[in-house]
Amino acid sequence: MMPTPDTPDSIKKLTRAQEIFKSATLEYQSLIRDILKEERDVMYMKRRNEIHQRLYEHVKRVIK
């Protein structure tokens, strides 16, 4: 459900995924954002041979 301009912020209903994301630590939120950024380039038909390596590096950064 997308809030309309006249909908107050206090009434916004988050999706389950948004609730999980907001409850995650900042480190995990950063990881998720970085991975989605990498995937977005692939989505827009940019061929990325190194995508798996880049995703691995993001995860490795968090899992020390």
Give the tens place of pLDDT for each residue, 3-27. Answer: 555 556 556 788 888 898 999 999 9
Residue with tokens 């991975």: 35
Give the pLDDT score at 64. Answer: 73
Output the pTM of the full model: 0.59
Determine the Cα–Cα distance for residues 7 and 48; give it in Å rounded to an integer: 40
Question: Confidence class of residue 61 from pLDDT cuts 50, 70 and 90?
Answer: confident
Give the pLDDT score at 3. Answer: 57
Alpha helices by DSSP H, listed for 1-64, are 16-23, 26-43, 51-62
